[in-house]
Structure 1
Amino acid sequence: MEFQLLGPFAALHQGRPVLTGLRRQERCLLAVLALEAGRAVPTGRLIDLLWNGEAPPGARSTVHTYIGRLRAALGPDGVHVETRNDGYLLRPDGHVIDARAFEDGVREAAAAVGDEERVLRYDRALALWRGELLADVADPALRDRIGQRLAALRLSAAEERARLLLTLGRHEQVAAELPALAEEHPERERLVADSMLALHRSGRSADALRLYRSVSGTLRSAFDAEPGRDLRTLYDRVRRDDPALRRPEAPTYAVRVRGEWLPWNTGGDPALEFCNTYAGWGGERLPGSEWLRGYRTLAVWAGHLDLLDDRTVTRLLRRAEERPEEASAVLEGAREFRSALYGWDDELATLENLLTLLRRGDGGALV
């Protein structure tokens, strides 16, 4: 059986729809179980999701009736919905679930060697999205409750793919595909910045400036916020047509590892090398001087200096794709640690603190 969740919901057996005659809410129940395939979902949570906290009397009996109808409709095709304590579980049994395939595809892309191969794998994963999650059976409130992690992973994958394409010089492709997504998500400043850069390099500087102004207005009205410093700097550089923006920024003293630009090692202590991930201390922060542009760079850098083994780096990259908000928080913590290290704050600036920061994933956090 194939379950399609990334867009209008469908359950297909050998390409044939099998849910004809079922009510929308029954299809929604099945979709929630498919999203959690292999894990029991308590009946109380199903009731809360299906009625958005406003369940009518007899909701528990209604859910039981829905389950019976689902079993009757899907049982002949080898789909099993089991009762587990006070809940229900959809057995995976080798069924194809596009949401699972998407997550697997993003992990494979993050671990792939070579920019072209990573782009190809991101393309395959992102192509599984045919619209909003459960577009025809879930309302926005339900979608927000059950789909935030997948939606964030989709945006992170789009951002990483755009960064790779820009590195490969394929800015026109980014300019054609990314700006609309950036306008939908003005809070994702990396999306906006890459869209502006791609438009500028494609000879569409006016569109790049227009995108910035549109995003700025949305941030003020919807979030009561202003664009960040890096985005404002990029806007100024596009406006004055900085020649350095016309070509991909490859640092002068750099090595390329897992698709990331890293500063050359100077042969010093790893703690001192960490200071070299930021050039221009004590002066104006120049464009391109920040080496820790993203969490991925931090993890790859740690592996490059043998602070982490390759397997751990791969695991952290995968988890960062799955938990982008936590990755951003850890990256900011790493930058603060670096500032303390550079100033040699005896309380904070120890290599052991850096290793703790990077390895915290073994205890259940992101890193």
Structure 2
Amino acid sequence: MTTAGAGQPVLFGMEFRLLGPFETRHEGDLVEVGCRRQERCLLGILLLDAGRVVTTDRLVDLLWNGRPPVSARGALQTYIGRLRGSLTPYGVRISTRGDGYLVEADGHRIDVDEFGWLVRQASGAADPAERVRLLDRGLALWRGPLLADAADDELRDRLHGTVEELRLVGFELRAEAQLALGQHARAIAELVPLAARYPSREQLVATLMTALYRGGRQADALRLYRTTREMLVDELGIEPGPRLREVHRRILRGDDRLDRPGRPVYEVRVRDESLPWSVGGHPALEFCNTFAGWGHEPPLPGSEWLRGYPTLAVWAGHVGLIDDVSVSRLLQLAGRDPDQADEVLTEARHLRAELYACLTDPDDRRAFDVVARYAEAAAKQLVFRRDTDGRGRWWPDLAAGLRLPLHAAAWSAAQLLADPRRFTVRTCPDERCGWLFLDEAGLRRWCSLGTCGRPVAQSPCRSA
């Protein structure tokens, strides 16, 4: 038995542990399920999407790493039959739906779902002590990599790359809460090995630098920044982001604001990418907007948030223009063909500039025509698919390859330009900001961005 978010007891029929070696328990006792590795892997894949249909094609592709034998579908049916035989006595149902299967969500406990719930609760907790408590519970569920004895690293990335990302976010959130509680020594002990393993994760490094500074280790904090910057420049060809540079500047100045650490409200971290803070109310607006250090030194608002192709792909998934499976696939393709990825990124930046011109100057017909051409190209790559809730939706086709997020952004832009809400778009007049957002009520006088920093004495935001 465990406790739901509202405090009501919930009884679980079975407990499935996927975070580490695959385990199945009933009333605390181990239950043998799946005598073959692929059977355990198959059940793990279905449990990651419990209550949702996983198509046969996807199951075959995942189980055989894209190289299925001729007998794959027959073998899959055999595995399903064996799993049903093992699980039926415990009330676990694997149903056939169309050309796919699903594990019925009948109240069974799945550690991946529980972990996600705890991290989400912690991220919304105002009390740092409560945040630490929730994250202690969540991170304690980890016994190793996802499906450690049933999947390899490549398959884990394809299955649920967001699980590992969520784990790192959990560590970052807990460290920030520990700093708020004065527990910098504990934060340092937990973050040092993580920073060594994920040196390009700037949010983690920034939090560790703050903890080191609070622990009287200013030299170590500055040394960490130097080695991180050298790695980013030498290996990725980029400078550190605004968050990391801001912490560095504050350490050099002995800024007392380091005693009030916290994630900037204008920065969203997904899969170790910094994305625009979502206040625009429409994906096409978020595509135009940016994040930066308002009221500080450059980069100022309006600086380019599309630092690399992975940022574009992750952003498209974050705002719901493409699904998570497509994001993982795009990241793999970008790693294999970085030159083409850079070409697509250049086009995306061009589209972004033209769309911004469209939305801020309705008379700019040239910009409108450019966006229209991108939208026409995107329309040729759309497929109509039924979602799990039964509704239909237009999605960019995976056949578009690396151009997929570009098409997704262009189609979203076309939808906004054809929507009457387009006439309620407002823009901040400050040249350092220029944020776009919807103001359907027509009542907002000042920029919707709380961190803009523009004095209220300046002119109000204007209609686009």
Do both share a fold (TM > 0.5)?
yes
Secondary structure class of the residue paired with 1:342: coil
Measured in 2, the distance between the counterparts of 1:75 and 1:234 equals 55
1:243 alignment partner in structure 2: 254
Amino acid at match of 2:259: P
Secondary structure class of the residue paired with 2:255: helix
Conserved? CA contact 2:210–2:258, under 8 Å: no
Name which of 203, 209, 227 aligns with 2:240: 227
Measured in 2, the distance between the counterparts of 1:205 and 1:34 equals 46
Measured in 2, the distance between the counterparts of 1:77 and 1:92 equals 13
1:14 aligned onto 2:35: no
Measured in 1, the distance between the counterparts of 2:131 and 2:426 equals 30
Amino acid at match of 2:108: H
**Unmatched runs of 5 consecutive residues or more in structure 1:** 252-276, 291-318, 326-336, 359-367
Name which of 61, 67, 73 aligns with 1:54: 67
1:150 alignment partner in structure 2: 163
Conserved? CA contact 2:34–2:82, under 8 Å: no
RMSD: 3.8
Amino acid at match of 1:90: V
2:200 alignment partner in structure 1: 187
Per the TM alignment, residue 187 of structure 1 is displaced from its structure 2 partner at its CA by 3.1
Name which of 92, 97, 103 aligns with 2:116: 103
1:126 aligned onto 2:135: no
Structure 1 segment 285-324 matched on structure 2, within 5 A: none
Measured in 2, the distance between the counterparts of 1:346 and 1:194 equals 29
**Unmatched runs of 5 consecutive residues or more in structure 2:** 1-13, 263-291, 302-319, 328-424, 450-464
Name which of 200, 218, 225 aligns with 1:205: 218
1:63 aligned onto 2:76: yes
Conserved? CA contact 1:163–1:194, under 8 Å: yes
Amino acid at match of 2:20: G
TM-score normalised by L of structure 2: 0.54
Name which of 52, 62, 68 aligns with 1:39: 52
Q: Residue 346 and residue 160 in structure 1: after superposition, are their counterparts in 2 closer, same or farther (change >3 A)? A: closer
Amino acid at match of 2:429: L
Conserved? CA contact 2:60–2:73, under 8 Å: yes
Name which of 429, 436, 458 aligns with 1:341: 429
Measured in 2, the distance between the counterparts of 1:103 and 1:249 equals 27
Measured in 2, the distance between the counterparts of 1:250 and 1:29 equals 43
Question: Could you list the per-position Cα deviations for residues 178-218 of structure 1 after superposition, in whole angstroms to 9, with x for gaps in the alignment?
Answer: 12222322332111100111122223334334433443344
Q: Structure 1 vs Structure 2: percent identity of aligned residues?
A: 48
Q: Residue 8 and residue 243 in structure 1: after superposition, are their counterparts in 2 closer, same or farther (change >3 A)? A: same
Measured in 1, the distance between the counterparts of 2:188 and 2:115 equals 24
Per the TM alignment, residue 229 of structure 1 is displaced from its structure 2 partner at its CA by 4.2
Conserved? CA contact 2:214–2:259, under 8 Å: no
Conserved? CA contact 2:426–2:436, under 8 Å: no
1:72 aligned onto 2:66: no
User: Which of the pair has the greater relative contact order for Cα pairs under 8 Å at 6+ separation?
Assistant: 1
Per the TM alignment, residue 85 of structure 1 is displaced from its structure 2 partner at its CA by 1.2
Secondary structure class of the residue paired with 2:200: coil
Q: Residue 137 and residue 341 in structure 1: after superposition, are their counterparts in 2 closer, same or farther (change >3 A)? A: farther
Structure 1 segment 23-34 matched on structure 2, within 5 A: 23-34=36-47
Conserved? CA contact 1:6–1:133, under 8 Å: yes
Measured in 1, the distance between the counterparts of 2:111 and 2:120 equals 14
Secondary structure class of the residue paired with 1:12: strand
Conserved? CA contact 2:172–2:203, under 8 Å: yes
Question: Could you list the per-position Cα deviations for residues 117-144 of structure 1 after superposition, in whole angstroms to 9, with x for gaps in the alignment?
Answer: 1221122222222221112211111111
Conserved? CA contact 2:250–2:258, under 8 Å: no
Conserved? CA contact 1:18–1:74, under 8 Å: no
Conserved? CA contact 1:183–1:215, under 8 Å: no
Secondary structure class of the residue paired with 1:103: helix
1:160 alignment partner in structure 2: 173
Conserved? CA contact 1:7–1:131, under 8 Å: yes
Question: Could you list the per-position Cα deviations for residues 50-72 of structure 1 after superposition, in whole angstroms to 9, with x for gaps in the alignment?
Answer: 11111111100010011111112
